[in-house]
A and B are shown apart, each in its own frame.
Chain A
Amino acid sequence: GQNIDQPTEMTATEGAIVQINCTYQTSGFNGLFWYQQHAGEAPTFLSYNVLDGLEEKGRFSSFLSRSKGYSYLLLKELQMKDSASYLCAVKDSNYQLIWGAGTKLIIKP
């Protein structure tokens, strides 16, 4: 079966750095996505990786290792507004998005 694992919840301090990991086993791979979702809202796109390596976009970076079936989302200079759920999703061989359960990130002052 297809599976995406990420931690259920993480806590970090305002101004610090946090890394959210995601491992996946899917039938085929056509890219990995990270989305941010605030409670009661739809997900918003953060990043996309299809090749190995690090993609940097402002305070957020995403890393991919296809051979290891592994990705992480790195958030720097954390702000209170970064408190949200972060969803990892993989497009499989049919270009269908397979979603992880999400990681709830709690930012403390």
Chain B
Amino acid sequence: GAVVSQHPSWVICKSGTSVKIECRSLDFQATTMFWYRQFPKQSLMLMATSNEGSKATYEQGVEKDKFLINHASLTLSTLTVTSAHPEDSSFYICSAPREAQNTEAFFGQGTRLTVV
């Protein structure tokens, strides 16, 4: 069964509104979670590393004020896309290692965001 749950699986929102995506580790504690974005026919691109109890680490070129990350507990990280625009439409995926530096990254189901 799934060990990382992501919700919602898809969302359509109006331009200018905000959308929150949740990522939960189901049977383990995740001090670190990763948020990726994937445009059609492209590979995963790491947006940010979410750290429980501290600020997220953003990759170069990712606007931290636009993509708000909160990792308030050991099992939940959220990504909020603020003031969404059509160019933010993409497939957003979270992942979490069961342990730090673990061999395998477990992925959520992904969220298809469409901004109209």
Contact = CB atoms under 8 A, between A and B. Distances in A.
Interface in A16-60: 30-31, 33, 40-45, 48, 50
Given A42-B93, A87-B44, A102-B43, A97 B110 contact: no
A31 B44 contact: no
Given A99-B44, A101-B42, 5 more contacts: A41-B109, A45-B104, A45-B106, A95-B101, A99-B46
Contacts of B103: 31, 48, 50
Interface in B57-84: none
Interface string B87-107: 000010100000011011111
Contact of B44 (A40, A43, A45, A96): A43
- Nearest 9 A-B pairs (CB), nearest first? A42-B107, A101-B43, A42-B110, A95-B101, A99-B44, A99-B43, A102-B43, A48-B103, A42-B93
A99 B99 CA distance: 20
Contacts of A104: 41
Interface string B24-67: 00000000001000000111111000000000000000000000
B99 to A, nearest CB: 11
Contacts of B91: 40
> What's the dominant secondary structure at chain A's contact region?
loop
B112 interface: yes
A96 B101 CA distance: 8
Contact of A40 (B34, B43, B101, B112): B112
Nearest to B111: A42
Interface in A40-82: 40-45, 48, 50
15 contacts: A31-B103, A41-B109, A41-B110, A42-B6, A42-B93, A42-B110, A44-B107, A45-B104, A48-B103, A50-B103, A87-B44, A95-B101, A99-B43, A99-B44, A104-B41
